């Protein structure tokens, strides 16, 4: 599965709580999930950060990318 485009609503859903439902054993992703959960940034800012993160690490996050469609 390819990465959804930056304007996909999936990023907003992840920023509004969906990220915590991703099953992952990738250390950086786990720690980012907690960082964003604790962050007071607005959802739009979080959504941009999540998209940038997945774009950067897409090759290492095949299992996580495959989960995006159902979140």
Residues that bind other proteins (CB under 8 A): 20, 24-25, 27-35, 37-38, 52-53, 56-57, 59-60
Shorter beta-carbon distance to other proteins: residue 37 or 44: 37
CB of 43 to other proteins, least distance (A): 17
Shorter beta-carbon distance to other proteins: residue 5 or 27: 27
Distance CA(36)–CA(29), nearest Å, equals: 10
Shorter beta-carbon distance to other proteins: residue 59 or 70: 59
Distance CA(56)–CA(60), nearest Å, equals: 9
CB of 12 to other proteins, least distance (A): 19
- Note the residue count of the chain: 71
């Amino acid at each position: 599965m390819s990465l959804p485009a930056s304007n996909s609503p999936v990023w907003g859903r992840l920023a509004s709580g969906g990220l915590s439902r991703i099953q992952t054993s990738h250390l950086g992703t786990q720690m980012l999930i907690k960082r964003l959960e604790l962050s007071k940034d607005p959802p739009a800012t979080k959504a941009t950060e999540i998209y940038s993160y997945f774009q950067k690490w897409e090759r290492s996050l095949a299992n996580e990318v495959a989960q995006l469609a159902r979140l």
